[in-house]
Amino acid sequence: MKKHVLVTTFWSFKDALVQTYTLPYLKIMHKHLPKDSKIYLLTIEQERYQILPAEIAQIENDLKKYNILSIRFPYFSYGFRSLLNWTRIVFSLFFLILRHQIQYIHSFCTTSGMAGYLLSILTGRTYLIDSYEPHAEASVENGDWQRSSFRFRLLFFLEKMESHRVRYIISATEGMKKYALEKYNATFEHFYVKPACVDLNLFSLKNRKNAILLKEFGYENKVVCVYAGKFGGIYLDKEIFEFFSVADRYWGEKFRLLILTSHQPQEIEARCKAVGIDFGKVRVQFVNHAQIADYMGLADFAVTPVKPIPTKRYCTPIKDGEYWALGLPIVITRDISDDSEIVKKHQIGAVMNEFTDKEYLKNIKEIDDLLQKYTLEELYDKVRKVAEQYRSFDIAEKIYKEIYGEKGT
């Protein structure tokens, strides 16, 4: 018997959160769904991720291999136009569900879960939330919203309603079960834990120290620190550049900093200048995800500078799994998902407990000890085992098979 699924996201199709955090799971889902089942994927398209007309046919052909059909709507920022847009989206999807006899509504994160929640009420279909973690309180802790704001109160209310409505929860951490009970008074019959998994074939030893790139960047016999991501918002900004500055002073001429980001180079140069880092030691580059493993693999260690706010105990940084799969030790802030404890338990990096030069130097020495104690291959084997244990797609396979396989309900 066919099991058709509507997958809702709040992201654009070209966004890395769809390309690396959604599509791989849909391909696993397709593997376990009964034959001829279809997956309808909703994306909300922002202008910066514009899909060119020439790309549409290729995208649809690639998705067709997995019986995935793309449904795209434009993005509008908060306001009346956004409300009208989401009203149109919900009613369009309502008729889609009825017309194609879709049985499951699978929402990624509680933000897109708002649409899934309404549709599940309107249609009575089975409702799931994947990547379940707090967003309303996280926005307050980040300083983006006020707790008294309408945005916060609306999203927090909807998170509570979603938590009571949902049949299956797929969370990033076990701790989210306690959070949901305390904050939403919600308990779950079907609760699964799935951190941000990584394709271990795409991030491996073969991506380490690419000889052509090493020579091009002048990284031979250097100590290279890599960071892939943004600064500000949920990530540290001033503090992490102070850390880079201490690393620069510690390793001196050997130190190099590789930043893979969408920030403009002049933005990074200004931050480096503020803490006394010679920008000649820094390379800033935007890299497509298909190439990112080779660029990350140039490094000797990596950083995960997520702000250690309370709700980040329940998130799951994708980049940690990618770093670990490459065998890179990391410096991570305290209380981030289960990852800070994993780093400490397995001795594969350093945990940043406070933002002082003394702590930064302690972290750097911990990294240097690892680099001195192990060869590249030995350190790769040590860190890679952690990726295989905590970030393998085998984790997702078991969950989706249980939900969508022949024995699922």
**Model pLDDT for residues 123-176, shown as the tens digit of each residue:** 999 999 999 999 999 999 988 899 999 989 999 999 999 999 999 999 999 999
5-197+393-404: CATH topology: Rossmann fold (3.40.50)
pLDDT at residue 408, as a whole number: 58
pLDDT at residue 80, as a whole number: 83
pLDDT at residue 207, as a whole number: 97
pLDDT at residue 42, as a whole number: 97
Q: What is the pLDDT of residues 78-134, one digit of tens each?
A: 778 888 999 999 999 999 999 999 999 999 999 899 999 999 999 999 999 999 999
The residues, any chain, with a CB within 8 Å of residue 288's CB and separated by 6 or more, are none
Residue 28 CA to residue 31 CA, distance in Å, equals 5
Residue 24 CA to residue 18 CA, distance in Å, equals 9
pLDDT at residue 144, as a whole number: 86
- Of the candidates 138, 189, 136, 157, the one whose C-alpha atom is nearest the C-alpha of residue 313 is 138
pLDDT at residue 288, as a whole number: 82
Region 175-194: mean pLDDT is 96
pLDDT at residue 203, as a whole number: 96
Tokens read off for 345: 């338990």
- Asked if 125 and 106 count as a contact pair (C-beta separation under 8 A), the reply is no
Query: Is the predicted pLDDT of residue 270 greater than 60, yes or no?
Result: yes
pLDDT at residue 385, as a whole number: 98
Report residue 407's pLDDT band, with 50, 70 and 90 as the boundaries. low
Query: Is the predicted pLDDT of residue 332 greater than 80, yes or no?
Result: yes
Supply the Cα-derived Rg of the chain in whole angstroms.
22
Query: Is the predicted pLDDT of residue 264 greater than 80, yes or no?
Result: yes
Region 20-24: mean pLDDT is 92
- Asked if 40 and 71 count as a contact pair (C-beta separation under 8 A), the reply is yes
Structural domain spans, the chain? 5-197+393-404, 205-390
* 205-390 has the same fold as 5-197+393-404: yes
Q: DSSP code of 208? A: T
Is domain 205-390 classified as CATH 3.40.50.1370?
no
Element (H, E) at 259: strand 255-260
Residue 11 CA to residue 112 CA, distance in Å, equals 9
